[in-house]
Amino acid sequence: MAWTRHHILGLADWKAEEYEILLQTASSFREVLSRRTKKVPALQGQVVTNMFFEPSTRTRSSFELAAKRLSADILNFAPGTSSLTKGETILDTAKTYLAMGSDIMVIRHKEAGVPHLIAAEMDRLQTGVNVLNGGDGQHEHPSQGLLDLFTLCSLLDYENPRLELLKGKKVAIVGDILHSRVARSNIWSLRSAGAQVHLVGPPTLVPQFFAEMTVGSNGDQLFVHWQLEPALKDADFVMTLRLQKERMTNYLLPSLREYHQSYGITRDSLKLCHPHVKILHPGPVNRGVEISSDLMDDPALSLIQQQVTSGIAVRMALLYLIGTLNS
Amino acid sequence: MAWTRHHILGLADWKAEEYEILLQTASSFREVLSRRTKKVPALQGQVVTNMFFEPSTRTRSSFELAAKRLSADILNFAPGTSSLTKGETILDTAKTYLAMGSDIMVIRHKEAGVPHLIAAEMDRLQTGVNVLNGGDGQHEHPSQGLLDLFTLCSLLDYENPRLELLKGKKVAIVGDILHSRVARSNIWSLRSAGAQVHLVGPPTLVPQFFAEMTVGSNGDQLFVHWQLEPALKDADFVMTLRLQKERMTNYLLPSLREYHQSYGITRDSLKLCHPHVKILHPGPVNRGVEISSDLMDDPALSLIQQQVTSGIAVRMALLYLIGTLNS
Amino acid sequence: MAWTRHHILGLADWKAEEYEILLQTASSFREVLSRRTKKVPALQGQVVTNMFFEPSTRTRSSFELAAKRLSADILNFAPGTSSLTKGETILDTAKTYLAMGSDIMVIRHKEAGVPHLIAAEMDRLQTGVNVLNGGDGQHEHPSQGLLDLFTLCSLLDYENPRLELLKGKKVAIVGDILHSRVARSNIWSLRSAGAQVHLVGPPTLVPQFFAEMTVGSNGDQLFVHWQLEPALKDADFVMTLRLQKERMTNYLLPSLREYHQSYGITRDSLKLCHPHVKILHPGPVNRGVEISSDLMDDPALSLIQQQVTSGIAVRMALLYLIGTLNS
């Protein structure tokens, strides 16, 4: 099967074959990154525009470096000093970057659906421009879901990361599921792999309706918990999510300390899990809130650094796959 | 005739031959941009410094991409976090970038004359540095004037854009002429081409004295109107200008709505024009103020996207012409 | 002797041989910078991350251009829009850039010791990452100290800049020594060269304890003065420091005008110096405060532009020496 997808907007409709191609491509770029000269000329002369309407360090830098490794030219759009403050619409901003010659647009926006809106307009105008969702509101963050998938599969078989490795594995996702685009993208990819996904957090942040999300019949299942114990019991992987401090002021949480007491991951709570359990976190981490500080720094337990490293290879793979579609 | 101009500060003193060289050079760079690998090594190793003391998305990005297409190295100066806030003068900032090895400086400043000041100092010090005005106060925005000219001439003869194509054409410039550096640069270039230029807007924003600007005898004429009808009558091209909302608070305008009623360009008002009329706007556009939203999106009428695309080719041409003068 | 130092954190423990290697390497890069194509492929594929937690124009741009001249890929970290505002620790931010594949980190922070903290962590994790201090609090600014050294030695022997040229030379450092990381780095390098260093400024900004700093026995000496005359008498070089205006509000200074009266360098005060005296300033300059405006612009007296130019060659040398250590 060959790659056919033009835009990376979310993982909700990804097919197993697409995940496999992505995992293999990322794996081959990881090999490039281990060489002394870590660049390939794959996207030379192409323009990747980073349109981050919401501030971001790690995702923007990761896409920027991935694009540079592919020898693309990068334009960084800074919303603070932009035409948006002069009354221009988002679509007009996108069309301006289109007219300048952008080949790929990476878009982050605090409102869900903005990347889809731009992708639809690019298609309507038959521009051939590819759109990559760098995180949209509380909807999806597909490159994060894919880098988490690549990290897990690579841990299980470094040379040949593939979906089936996760079949039947128990993955606990802990924290503010309700507001998390990372959780949503991970739920899609993990279930496509046939994993057992257990969501856990306070009832205000993990509503029951999540249990009703389905992705076809793959042996996969989705569970909702409001207590840590059943979620962690024999878990193979624990994904912790960033807790945004503003949730407290919105009356969704009593205090960070109480949150940590009930849902923070510590060496103690890990005793419930499978002996080979590993922890993930999309970053940035509030140490001592979502996860205890010593745990985060323990390379035998934490995959956090591997996640960031995977991010470069996965984003190179995404940019490469969509950027070379028409050539 | 060979290119001899070191700085691009304004179009007021440009000769016809210079416009012709610019149009031809931009045309050849447009051909480069249509190739798969859109880069040429013309300015390899040279440093282009973007000194935008005033925020800008499109002009800064356009110069940045043009410079990258020519393989130059770019330095982006960010005034917000700069030495200016520590008490340094503008000339000292420029001299610092000179001492770092800048070959070309692109300068935007909210005060008219800053690029000229820096160019004069660069010449006095016999530095060989080239200065490009990226927009200075209400004075000039030469690269915008040139990309508008290139857009119009290319429409009339794509393969061979040249000044004479505009001879006798009627061009209406609509809006806040008084505060517009874009209008000023366009007036110079359009009159050099022998076009009939009609300025129109409310009397507070289109003072009578504009009718007295002259550029030698070329068959060209400049008219001032305070009503849309005579300006649009049989017009070949309508250039709309961005209306800055702060003009209202300065008692120069009653309201955006009344402005749109009197001077906004709509499908209806275009009926007055030549059947093949096209609309331009330097962007960013306030939809529904300067121009109705549907008009802006109609590719049969709007040249707005072509203007942005022309911007890359024209800025490559400008950087190339001044950057290779001494070699 | 071969280069062995992995991190550039400060000059306090530099050996004479290290200064000599640095001066020679910078000299050879200056030769590269005089060519038409000013780039070398030395660091191709390597990633230099500029982590400037404190705003900076000149130092950041200088490192960025130096890295580009060496063909490295650059990541610019912008603290304002960063994960720090989301509760991430500095070490976690650094580890994120490590995991992305940074080879060299250039770090500026308003608190002393941050680059050391990051370097220690990089070593503990056996990452091989090199850390370069771009200015930490009131502690050190080693690349500035080295570019000043290179500027002075190059003035005395352009073809063969070396430490011994400064032996016995009298250097006055004027201004706010107490808060100056530039002064501290210069004191180390100048004394290593065997220069006589005279510190001068108001007693609130030049405490007596500076006279007690020692760097081994090299014939070098350090003097503290509270009046300009003895410091400038027969001085070969006068280094002025930037006066931060906030010092006044902290009751350390009466007014800028009185400061200039007592400690500002003017044509008059220079009459006390050696006839061939030259003036340095790390920039940005408050004209008419630390130094009179006409003096600053006099190429016969001021080395300020040479300092900036030296900065590119010296930073290329630093990046090159640490970046090619393991290859």
Q: Which residues of C touch A69 (CB under 8 A)?
A: 73
C-alpha span between B174 and B270 (Å, rounded): 13
Apex CA B95: angle with CA C243 and CA B61, to 5°? 110
Helix, strand, coil: what percent of chain C each, to 5? Answer: 45, 15, 40
Q: Which residues contact C76 (CB under 8 A, 6 or more apart)?
A: C49, C50, C52, C60, C64
Residue A216 in any domain: the answer is: yes
Strand, helix or coil at A73?
strand
Alpha-carbon dihedral angle through residues B30, B31, B36, B37, given to the nearest 10 degrees:
-70
User: In 3D, which of C294, C202, C277 has the Cα closest to residue C239?
Assistant: C277
| pLDDT the model gives residue B226 | 96
Residue B81 to residue C57, Cβ atoms within 8 A: yes
Residue A45 to residue B62, Cβ atoms within 8 A: no
C-alpha span between C189 and C197 (Å, rounded): 10
C91, closest residue in chain A (CA to CA): A297
pLDDT at A265 over 60: yes
Tell me C57's DSSP state: S
| pLDDT tier, C186 (very low <50, low <70, confident <90, very high otherwise) | very high
The phi, psi pair for A134, rounded to 5°, reads -95, 20
Beta strands in chain C, from DSSP E residues, in sequence order: 47-52, 73-77, 104-109, 130-136, 170-174, 196-200, 221-225, 237-240, 278-280
Do C287 and C159 belong to one domain?
yes
Q: Order across the sheet with C278-280: list the strands.
A: C221-225, C196-200, C170-174, C237-240, C278-280
Q: What is the CATH number of the domain that holds A260?
A: 3.40.50.1370
Residue B4 in any domain: the answer is: no
C79, closest residue in chain A (CA to CA): A57
What DSSP string describes B190-243? HHHTT-EEEEES-TTTS-GGGGG----SSS-EEEEESSHHHHHTT-SEEEE-PP
| pLDDT tier, C244 (very low <50, low <70, confident <90, very high otherwise) | confident
Answer yes or no: are the C-beta atoms of C112 and C304 closer than 8 Å.
no
Residue B196 in any domain: the answer is: yes
C-alpha span between B61 and B106 (Å, rounded): 12
Average pLDDT, chain A: 93
Residue whose structure tokens are 């808060």:
C179
Do C153 and C122 belong to one domain?
no
Distance of CA A135 to the CA centre of its chain: 8
Q: Which of B51, B83, B96 to mutate to test the interface with C (most CBs of C within 10 A)?
A: B96
C75, closest residue in chain A (CA to CA): A61
| pLDDT the model gives residue B186 | 97
| Shortest Cα–Cα distance, B243 to chain A (Å) | 10
| pLDDT the model gives residue A43 | 96
Do C177 and C275 belong to one domain?
yes
User: In 3D, which of A42, A63, A36, A41 has the Cα closest to residue A51?
Assistant: A63
Neighbours of chain B (3+ CB pairs under 8 A): A, C
Residue C100 to residue A68, Cβ atoms within 8 A: no
Pairing of strands A104-109, A130-136: parallel
Do A104 and A165 belong to one domain?
no
Answer yes or no: are the C-beta atoms of B43 and B323 closer than 8 Å.
yes
C-alpha span between B184 and A256 (Å, rounded): 59
Do B152 and B295 belong to one domain?
yes
| Structural domains counted in chain C | 2
Answer yes or no: are the C-beta atoms of C12 and C67 closer than 8 Å.
no
Which member of C37, C62, C284 has the closest CB to residue B44?
Answer: C37
Percent of chain A topping pLDDT 90: 83
| B56 contacts chain A (CB < 8 A) | yes
Q: Which residues of C touch A179 (CB under 8 A)?
A: none
Distance of CA A321 to the CA centre of its chain: 17
C-alpha span between B148 and B280 (Å, rounded): 8
Residue C83 to residue A57, Cβ atoms within 8 A: yes
Distances (CA, A) of C78 to C49, C293, C310: 11, 33, 26
Do B112 and B232 belong to one domain?
no
Do C165 and C292 belong to one domain?
yes
Residue B96 to residue C283, Cβ atoms within 8 A: yes
| Shortest Cα–Cα distance, B123 to chain C (Å) | 15
Average pLDDT, chain B: 93
| pLDDT the model gives residue C109 | 94
C-alpha span between B120 and C73 (Å, rounded): 34
Q: Which of B47, B76, B77, B88 to mutate to test the interface with C (most CBs of C within 10 A)?
A: B88
Apex CA C65: angle with CA C62 and CA C71, to 5°? 145
For B283, the domain range is 144-303
| pLDDT the model gives residue A216 | 58
pLDDT in tens, A30-66: 999 999 889 999 999 999 999 999 888 889 999 999 9
Alpha-carbon dihedral angle through residues A272, A274, A280, A286, given to the nearest 10 degrees:
20
Do A264 and A186 belong to one domain?
yes
Interface of A with C in 29-48 (CB under 8 A): 33, 35-39
Residue whose structure tokens are 């001439």:
B153
Neighbours of chain C (3+ CB pairs under 8 A): A, B
Q: Which residues of B touch A324 (CB under 8 A)?
A: none
| pLDDT tier, A251 (very low <50, low <70, confident <90, very high otherwise) | confident
Answer yes or no: are the C-beta atoms of B153 and B169 closer than 8 Å.
no
Residue A64 to residue C75, Cβ atoms within 8 A: yes
Do A149 and A296 belong to one domain?
yes
| pLDDT tier, C248 (very low <50, low <70, confident <90, very high otherwise) | low
The phi, psi pair for C175, rounded to 5°, reads 130, -140
B14: left (phi > 0), else alpha (psi -120 to 50), else beta?
Answer: beta
C90, closest residue in chain A (CA to CA): A284
Interface of A with C in 57-116 (CB under 8 A): 57-58, 61-62, 64-65, 68-69, 80
What mean pLDDT comes out for the span B164-180? 96
Residue B92 to residue C284, Cβ atoms within 8 A: yes
What mean pLDDT comes out for the span A171-197? 96
Do A133 and A158 belong to one domain?
no
Distances (CA, A) of A71 to A43, B37, B298, C45, C198: 6, 11, 35, 10, 51
Neighbours of chain A (3+ CB pairs under 8 A): B, C
**A79-93, B93-107, B180-194, C266-280: segment of lowest average pLDDT:** A79-93
| pLDDT the model gives residue B85 | 57
| A324 contacts chain B (CB < 8 A) | no
Strand, helix or coil at B319?
helix
Q: Which residues of C touch A61 (CB under 8 A)?
A: 75, 77, 97, 100
Residue C75 to residue A57, Cβ atoms within 8 A: no
Q: Which of C36, C51, C65, C154 to mutate to test the interface with B (most CBs of B within 10 A)?
A: C65
Residue C65 to residue B75, Cβ atoms within 8 A: yes
| Shortest Cα–Cα distance, B38 to chain A (Å) | 5
| pLDDT tier, A217 (very low <50, low <70, confident <90, very high otherwise) | low
Q: How far apart are the first and last CA of chain B?
A: 17
Which member of B45, B77, B82 has the closest CB to residue C39?
Answer: B45
Helix, strand, coil: what percent of chain B each, to 5? Answer: 45, 15, 40
What mean pLDDT comes out for the span B262-266? 96
Report the 10 Å Cβ neighbour count for A216: 8
| pLDDT tier, C85 (very low <50, low <70, confident <90, very high otherwise) | low
C-alpha span between B125 and B116 (Å, rounded): 14
What mean pLDDT comes out for the span B72-91? 76
C128: left (phi > 0), else alpha (psi -120 to 50), else beta?
Answer: left
Residue B9 in any domain: the answer is: no
Residue C103 in any domain: the answer is: yes
Do B164 and B296 belong to one domain?
yes
C-alpha span between B3 and B74 (Å, rounded): 24
pLDDT in tens, C112-169: 999 999 999 999 999 999 999 999 999 999 999 999 999 999 999 999 999 999 999 9
| pLDDT tier, C245 (very low <50, low <70, confident <90, very high otherwise) | confident
Residue A65 to residue C47, Cβ atoms within 8 A: yes
Token reading at C286: 């408050």
Which member of B45, B47, B77 has the closest CB to residue C57?
Answer: B77
Report the 10 Å Cβ neighbour count for B311: 30
Answer yes or no: are the C-beta atoms of C193 and C167 closer than 8 Å.
yes
| pLDDT tier, B326 (very low <50, low <70, confident <90, very high otherwise) | confident
| pLDDT the model gives residue B266 | 97
Residue B3 in any domain: the answer is: no
Answer yes or no: are the C-beta atoms of C304 and B98 closer than 8 Å.
no
C-alpha span between A117 and A93 (Å, rounded): 12
Residue B150 in any domain: the answer is: yes
**A42-46, B168-172, B218-222, B315-319: segment of lowest average pLDDT:** B218-222
C-alpha span between B2 and B18 (Å, rounded): 9
Residue whose structure tokens are 């006095």:
B124
| pLDDT tier, C211 (very low <50, low <70, confident <90, very high otherwise) | confident
C-alpha span between A122 and A55 (Å, rounded): 24
Do C178 and C207 belong to one domain?
yes
Strand, helix or coil at B171?
strand
Pairing of strands A278-280, C278-280: unpaired
Residue A279 in any domain: the answer is: yes
What mean pLDDT comes out for the span C251-269? 90
B32, closest residue in chain A (CA to CA): A45
| pLDDT the model gives residue C169 | 97
C-alpha span between A201 and A194 (Å, rounded): 22
Which member of A65, A287, A309 has the closest CB to residue C89?
Answer: A287
| pLDDT tier, A86 (very low <50, low <70, confident <90, very high otherwise) | low
| pLDDT tier, B120 (very low <50, low <70, confident <90, very high otherwise) | very high
| pLDDT the model gives residue B78 | 73
